[in-house]
Amino acid sequence: MKLDALNYILVAALVVSALGTVMAARLLMAALGLAITSAVLSIILFRFDAPLAAVFELSVCAGLIPAIFISAIGMTRRMSDEDLAERQKRRFRKLWFLPVLTILIGVALTRVHVALDFPMPGATAVKDVREVLWNLRHVDLVGQVVILMGGAFAVVVLVKELKHE
């Protein structure tokens, strides 16, 4: 697929949200950053004709995993504003190199040429997501349902039971 302007914007958004996730001082912001990163990645996957991967990324990585993180964060104590500001400063001091490193790796990747000198058969040419989910990958669909159930139990075990107690 040709890298048009929208793709560049999406990749930039992906990188920025991922960096924000890692560098955020507040756990809640980091969890939200993770959800945004996964959501942007899902859009990229949809645009790359990978609907199954996109659906999986969107539901599990953008939905379930941040939900579990947020559930766990809900059990923690809130930091004071002063502590938070100090923590944010320390985090920037510790991780300042990450954006620099990301830019350097990005530049290096555009310079490196990997010879794709092998036949690429291309993914199975089924475009309809229903066909993929119901006829080709239904075992994965069952697996995904079970992961969602596991996530639901995580919320019950980690949060609901705590409130109950």
Partner 1 sequence: MLPLLILVPLAALLLCNLPFNRQIRCTAVFLFAGAWSLIQSAMVLFRTDVLVAPSAINKFISFGLHLTDVGRVLLLTIGVVTFAAVMVGNRMVTGERARFNFINVLLVSLVGMNGAVTVTDLFSLYVFLEVTSVSSFVLIAFNRDRNGLEGAFKYLVMSAVATVMMLTAVGLMLMFAGDTSFSAVHKALTVNGGHMLAKLAMILFVSGLFIKGGLVPFHGWLPAAYSAAPAPVSVLLGGVVTKVSGIYALVQLSQNVFPPNAVVNHILMVVGTASIIVGALAALGQTDMKRLLAYSSISQVGYIILALGAAGQGGTPGKLALAGAVFHLFNHAIFKSLLFCNSAAVEDIVGTTDMLRLGGLGARMPLTSATSVVGLLSTAGIPPLSGFWSKLLIIVALWQSGLYAYAVLAVLFSVVTLAYLLTMQRKVFFGTLREELSRVTEVGMSLLLPQVILAIVTIALGVLFPLLFNTFLLPVGKL
Chain residues binding partner 1 by CB under 8 A are 60, 68, 72, 75, 114, 116-124, 137-140, 142-147, 149-151, 153-154, 156-158, 161-162, 164
User: Residue 71's CB: how many other CB atoms inside 10 A?
Assistant: 19
Whose Cβ is closer to partner 1: residue 104's or residue 146's? Answer: 146
Shortest CB 68 distance to partner 1, Å: 8
Whose Cβ is closer to partner 1: residue 5's or residue 112's? Answer: 112
Whose Cβ is closer to partner 1: residue 91's or residue 137's? Answer: 137
Whose Cβ is closer to partner 1: residue 5's or residue 121's? Answer: 121
Contact 52, 131 (CB under 8 A): no
Shortest CB 164 distance to partner 1, Å: 7
Question: Who contacts 72 (Cβ-Cβ below 8 Å, separation ≥6)?
Answer: 158
How far apart are the C-alpha atoms of 41 and 97, rounded to whole Å? 24
Shortest CB 51 distance to partner 1, Å: 14
Shortest CB 81 distance to partner 1, Å: 25
**Closest CA relative to residue 133, chosen from 64, 23, 59, 68:** 59
Burial class (CB in 10 A: 0-12, 13-18, 19+), 33: buried
